[in-house]
Amino acid sequence: MKVVVIQGPNLNMLGIREQNIYGPMKLEDIHSQMEGYAKQNGIEVEFFQSNLEGEIVDRIQECIDDAEGIIINPAAYSHTSIAIRDAISAVRIPIIEVHISNIYAREEFRHTSLVAPVCTGQISGFGPFSYHLAMIAISQILSEVRAMKESQNKQPAE
């Protein structure tokens, strides 16, 4: 089972920028914790970060043949990118949208996520722990998908 974690713009600055909102933890530390969970649960995890919308769209599209699930923090693109929304909609695999801060308790322009309606679910507001919750959610969803496929393959043809 492979999960790709896609990080949007400015997330490479975690631990430096706006620690009062995002905390002191660096992106590498978050990824390290996610890797620990992945190893314990037999999940292959790959990380990708870009400040460029087109690169994020490309990586989402590559997941069609490369991954069973995606965890994505589109960051500011959550509120502006129809291109990322369309890419998410096209891949048709489970996708969890993640935000470190509670986007609904911040500036009004952050209250609308264009990608949320085409994601399997959204987790926000739990700080870096949001990523751990996303790993739990995606592993559960992928286990259920796998069990459903196995069940369908065992049913006799009519």
Assess whether 79 carries a catalytic annotation.
Answer: no
In the residue annotation, 132 being an active-site residue is answered as: no
The residue type of 157 is A
**Which of 77, 99, 131, 132 is labelled catalytic?**
99
Query: Cβ distance 39 to 135 under 8 Å?
Result: no
The rounded radius of gyration (Å) of the Cα atoms in the chain is: 16
Q: Which of 22, 77, 131, 132 is catalytic?
A: 22
Q: How many angstroms separate the CA atoms of 88 and 126, rounded? A: 23
Q: Where are the beta strands (DSSP E) in 39-148?
A: 44-49, 69-73, 95-99, 121-124
For the CA atoms of 27, 92, 76, 117, the dihedral, rounded to the nearest 10 degrees, stands at -130
Helix (H) or strand (E) holding 6: strand 2-7
Residue 37: what are its φ and ψ, rounded to 5°?
-65, -45
CA angle, 64 as apex, 116 and 54 as ends, to 5°? 65
User: Which residues are catalytically annotated?
Assistant: 22, 99
